Every structure is written in structure tokens, then in C-alpha cells.
């Protein structure tokens, strides 16, 4: 039996997988029809029972999040889908939406019904023109089919779905920053409490879910909670998209039950690129502390990765082989955090400014070993001191890389510069020679 369980990706290889016809060919929108015939609370219960947890990084149980929305409060409720996918290494939602945007639309219909929302939004990052086209068309076609708008599926329920397109800001993946952005402000995180479930979009009860979380719902409704529960590990149920990238022979998307290991995935993908060996990797994007080849057998579920000192995150498995300078890699990520810091809080805004300078000096062989201590101490003053998780994330590559590769930092100093040949890390080394 295959170790892979394509559910979301099951029909991506069909040329018209992104069209409403292509989607309906395999039972698309039947789950929505089924859900709309259920009691909304029963839908929530089913998602709770399935064990589905947020696929955007934090892993919060999706059904429980829905259950936080106060009912009978006579307020508008909103559902917002976080399609801002920007965490370095993360590349699952965009191909999903390009290949099958309708599964998200169907998930939105079900989720909105469950939380009694008449208005839903998909907040998609702006740097993906063609994905935007696909999602926009899916929404238009769903309206035409009577799945969105007034009296959807003839059930008397109404649902408006608006595609909101971002404009380049990683921070908008943070749910409260996303809400501010959607309200027409600068995307900076909000003070919590109040939490979005109480006062989210327009200060109304709001659920914010990741694309993959919502897209997983139709299959759960169609196949039942037990089916979903049968996949995965004890506390991490179901299947998910693992995105393998970097120095591997065959990068790509692998939909597998939670708990699979990198070793298993690498085997499927034909291993680290020929002639090279694994040096370090991220389990779930750059904000999750680095792993090394010690961690090949860590179960890639929420608990397993956490127990090994990192986070499952977005399951963005970025693989770097021994040609890669970890200081250079970390410097570049740190430059990313500096570029994407929203500016609201001191530790993140100012901290990333200085972290970059110190790392740049180290990469260039300038500085002393004491600078490593300074780096770690600055990270200590940023981690847990920042307003949101962006600042925390900025410290992860630094602290984890110093933990595993302290000697490599030192070698930059003794070497008077980076001891690595950057050309060797590229995919076209031969051309450069």
C-alpha cells in the first residue's frame, strides 16, 4: 500500500482540475449539499471529531475554533481564509489553488454554514497572478451555479464570498494583521484579547483558517470523521501536504498521513541530490528551528516535531546539502524577517536590523566568537518579547543553527570569510565554472 494518501491532490493530474466541471466530475459540491442539510452544530461536531487541526502552522483544532464563535448573538459572523502563504519554503496552498480552487470554495461554503457566516473572504497573497485568476473564476462559477450568493443550493441560506488580494506583506499571514489588512489598514497585528472569534473582522466574530484546513473539510463531510481519523497519529489526525524542496532529486508535493518521516519522503523523492548528503532542513518553514540529519526519523506530526525541538509549521521541508553555508542561509532568512517586520514592536523591528548586520559581518569573517553570544542574547531579547510570532520566528534559524553548527560560524572567523563555494550549491554549478 502506498505511503501517500492523495485526497486534496487526488485529481490534480486532470487538465481541467481547476474548472467547476472538472471538480464536479468527482463529486465536487456534494459535500456542501450534504452539510447544508445538516444542523450547523453537527457540522462543527463532525469537524471536531475528525481531529482536523490548523494547517497554517499553529495546529489549533479547527472544529474547536469554529465552536468559539458565539451563537445567537445577532451579529454578523465572518469566515476568512488565509491564503497569504508566504512563509519561506511553504508552497502547498498556491499549487492547490491553481489546480483545484473549487475545493476551497466548497470548504468555505461548509465552514461558513457551520459558523453561521453570511460573508466570507479569501485573503490571497498578491504575487501570484495566475492563482488569483483561477480562484476568481472558481468563485464566479460557483455563483453562477447557485453555490454562492442568495439561497445557495436552494436551501434558503445566503453566502457572499469575496476574493481579497494582498500586495506583498508576509506579516499578513498573521491572522490579526490579515484582518487589519482586509479592513483597509496597514497589516499590523492587533492586540489580543479580544480574539477574532469574539471581535475579528469589523469587530465581529470571525474565524480565520488556512487554505488547506478549509479545503480539507469537504472530504471530511463526504467521507466522515472516522475516515479522516483513521489517518495520522494519535493527536495529529488526517493527511496533509508535505512540500519538499531544495537539494533533492525530485522536489514536489506529497500528500501523506501526519507522522510520516523525512526519511520516508526522501526515499519517495529519490533522495538528496546525487552525490550529496543532507546537512540541515526546516520541518515547516524558516520560522521553525532547523533540523539536521539527526532528525530524519522524527515523526512529522505536531507532537513529534515539537518533541524534537522544532515545530511542524507548514510542513515546508526545505532540504540543504553539505554544499550550503548555514551562516549564509541564516543571514538570508534574517534579511527576510528584517524586510517583512511590520515595524510595530521594538524587538522585531530593531532587533532584525542589528541581527542582519552582525550575521553579515560573521558571514564575511568579521567579528569574534563573542558576537555569537551577542547574537544569542539579542535573540533572547526578541524571542517572547515581540508583539507577534514574526519576531520569534526570526530568532529560530539563528539559535538553532548556532546550536547545531557553532563550529561553522567559528570557521568563518578563522577563515576570514565564508569557507564555502556558493557555486556548488546552485543547480547549475557546471555552467558557472
Partner 1 sequence: MTTQESAPQITEVEMITVVIDGFEVTVPKGTLIIRAAEKLGIQIPRFCDHPLLSPVGACRQCLVDVEINGRAFPKPQASCTIPVEPNMIVKTQLTSPVAEKAQRGVMELLLGNHPLDCPVCDKGGECPLQNQAMSNGNAESRLDGTKRTFEKPINISSQVLLDRERCVLCARCTRFSEEIASDPFITLNHRGALQQVGIYENDPFNSYFSGNTIQICPVGALTGASYRFRARPFDLVSTPSACEHCASGCDMRTDVRRGKTLRRLAGDDAAVNEEWNCDKGRWAFKYVTAIDRLTQPLVRNADGELVAASWPEALAAAAAGLKGARAAVLVGGRATVEDAYGYSKFARIALSTNDIDFRARITSDEEGNFLASHVATSAVNYSDIDKADHALLLAFEPEEESPIVFLRLNKNVKKRNLKVTSIATKQSIAMDKLNAEFIRVAPGAEGAAVAAIALTAKSVILLGERASESAGLISAAVALADKTGAKLAWIPRRAGERGALDAGALGTLLPGGRPVADSAARVDIAAAWGVDSLPTNSGRSTSQIIASLAAGELDAVVVGGVDLRDMYNSVDAIAALKKSFVVSLEIAPSSVTEVADVVLPVAAITEKSGSFLNWEGRPRAFDSAVAESLNRSDVRILSALADAMGTSIMLGTVSATAREISQLGKWDGARVPFTPVAPVNPASPSGDQAIIASWRRLLDMGTLQRGEDNLAGTRRQTVAVISEKRAASLGVVTGDLLRVSNATGAITLPALVEDIHDDAVWLPRNSFGSQPLTDLNAVHGQLVTVVKA
Partner 2 sequence: MTTTNQNLNIDVMNSIVARYPRKRSAIMPLLHYVQAISGYVTNDGIEKISEILEIETAEVSAVATFYTQYKRKPVGEYHIGVCTNTLCAIMGGDVIMEALKDHLGIENDGVTADGKVSLEHIECNAACDYAPVVMANWEFYDNQSVSSAKDLVDGARAGNPPAPTRGPSKLVTFKEASLVLAGLDDGLANEGTQAGEPTLLGLKLSKEGK
Would you count residue 128 as binding partner 2 (CB under 8 A)? Answer: yes
Binding-site member from 193, 274, 427, 433 for partner 2 (CB under 8 A): 427
Task: Name which of residues 71 to 100 contact partner 2 (CB under 8 A).
Answer: 76, 85-91, 93-95, 98-99
C-alpha atoms less than 13 angstroms from C-alpha of 368 in its C-beta half-sphere: 1
Binding-site member from 252, 271, 309, 365 for partner 2 (CB under 8 A): 252
| Cα-based angle 299, 53, 182 (whole degrees, multiple of 5) | 125
The smaller minimum CB distance to partner 2, of residues 67 and 93, is found at: 93
Task: Identify the three-state secondary structure at position 385.
Answer: coil
| 239 Cβ neighbours under 8 A, 6+ residues apart | 5, 7, 231, 232, 255, 256, 257, 258
Which of these, 200, 166, 210, 161, lies nearest to 184 by C-alpha position? Answer: 166
| Cα separation, 292 vs 285, whole angstroms | 14
Binding-site member from 23, 147, 153, 333 for partner 2 (CB under 8 A): 333
Q: Where are the beta strands (DSSP E) in 195-274?
A: 206-210, 239-246, 252-257
Would you count residue 137 as binding partner 2 (CB under 8 A)? Answer: yes
Q: Is residue 314 within 8 Å of residue 240, measured between CB atoms?
A: no
| Cα separation, 31 vs 107, whole angstroms | 9
The smaller minimum CB distance to partner 2, of residues 12 and 195, is found at: 12
Which of these ranges, 27-35, 136-144, 250-258, 336-344, lies near partner 1 under the rule CB under 8 A?
A: 336-344
Binding-site member from 280, 340, 362, 425 for partner 1 (CB under 8 A): 340
- Give the shortest CB-282-to-partner 2 separation in angstroms: 9
Binding-site member from 66, 387, 409, 420 for partner 1 (CB under 8 A): 387
Q: Is residue 183 within 8 Å of residue 202, measured between CB atoms?
A: yes
Which of these ranges, 36-44, 265-273, 375-383, 401-409, lies near partner 1 under the rule CB under 8 A?
A: 375-383
Q: Is residue 221 within 8 Å of residue 30, measured between CB atoms?
A: no
Would you count residue 136 as binding partner 2 (CB under 8 A)? Answer: yes
Would you count residue 416 as binding partner 1 (CB under 8 A)? Answer: no
Convert residues 246-285 into a mask of x (bound to partner 1 by CB under 8 A) and - (unbound).
----------------------------------------
Would you count residue 178 as binding partner 1 (CB under 8 A)? Answer: no
Amino acid at each position: 500500500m502506498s505511503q501517500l494518501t492523495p485526497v486534496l491532490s487526488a485529481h490534480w493530474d486532470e487538465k481541467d482540475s481547476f474548472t467547476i466541471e472538472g471538480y464536479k466530475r468527482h463529486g465536487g459540491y456534494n459535500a456542501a449539499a450534504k452539510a447544508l442539510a445538516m444542523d450547523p452544530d453537527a457540522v462543527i461536531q463532525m469537524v471536531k471529531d475528525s481531529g482536523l487541526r490548523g494547517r497554517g502552522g499553529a495546529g489549533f483544532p479547527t472544529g474547536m475554533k469554529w465552536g468559539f464563535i458565539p451563537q445567537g448573538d445577532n451579529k454578523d459572523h465572518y469566515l476568512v481564509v488565509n491564503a497569504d502563504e508566504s512563509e519561506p519554503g511553504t508552497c502547498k496552498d498556491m499549487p492547490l489553488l491553481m489546480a483545484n480552487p473549487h475545493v476551497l470554495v466548497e470548504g468555505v461554503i461548509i465552514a461558513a454554514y457551520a459558523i453561521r457566516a453570511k460573508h466570507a473572504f479569501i485573503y490571497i497573497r498578491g504575487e501570484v497572478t495566475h492563482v488569483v485568476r483561477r480562484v476568481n473564476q472558481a468563485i464566479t462559477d460557483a455563483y453562477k451555479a447557485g453555490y454562492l450568493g442568495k439561497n445557495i443550493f436552494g436551501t434558503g441560506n445566503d453566502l457572499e464570498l469575496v476574493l481579497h488580494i494582498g500586495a506583498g506583506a508576509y506579516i499578513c499571514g498573521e491572522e490579526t494583521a490579515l484582518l487589519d489588512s482586509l479592513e483597509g489598514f496597514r497589516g499590523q497585528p492587533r492586540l489580543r484579547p479580544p480574539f477574532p472569534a469574539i471581535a475579528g473582522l469589523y469587530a465581529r466574530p470571525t474565524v480565520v483558517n488556512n487554505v488547506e484546513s478549509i479545503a480539507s473539510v469537504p472530504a471530511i463531510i463526504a467521507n466522515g470523521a472516522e475516515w479522516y481519523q483513521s489517518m495520522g497519529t494519535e493527536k495529529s489526525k488526517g493527511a496533509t501536504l508535505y512540500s519538499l524542496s531544495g537539494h533533492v532529486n525530485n522536489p514536489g508535493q506529497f500528500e501523506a498521513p501526519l507522522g510520516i518521516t523525512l526519511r520516508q519522503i526522501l526515499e519517495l523523492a529519490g533522495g538528496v541530490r546525487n552525490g550529496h548528503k543532507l546537512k540541515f532542513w526546516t520541518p515547516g518553514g524558516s520560522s521553525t528551528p532547523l533540523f539536521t540529519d539527526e532528525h530524519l526519523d522524527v515523526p512529522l506530526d505536531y507532537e513529534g516535531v515539537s518533541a524534537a525541538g522544532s515545530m511542524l509549521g507548514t510542513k515546508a521541508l526545505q532540504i540543504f546539502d553539505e554544499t550550503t553555508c548555514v551562516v549564509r542561509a541564516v543571514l538570508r532568512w534574517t534579511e527576510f524577517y528584517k524586510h517583512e517586520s511590520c515595524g510595530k514592536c521594538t524587538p522585531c523591528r530593531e532587533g532584525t536590523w542589528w541581527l542582519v548586520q552582525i550575521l553579515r559581518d560573521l558571514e564575511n569573517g568579521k567579528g569574534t566568537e563573542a558576537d555569537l553570544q551577542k547574537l544569542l542574547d539579542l535573540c533572547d531579547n526578541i524571542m517572547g518579547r515581540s508583539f507577534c510570532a514574526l519576531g520569534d520566528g526570526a530568532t529560530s534559524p539563528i539559535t538553532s543553527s548556532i546550536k547545531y553548527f557553532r563550529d561553522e560560524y567559528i570557521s568563518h572567523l578563522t577563515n576570514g570569510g565564508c569557507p564555502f563555494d556558493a557555486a556548488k550549491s546552485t543547480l547549475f554549478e557546471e555552467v558557472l565554472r
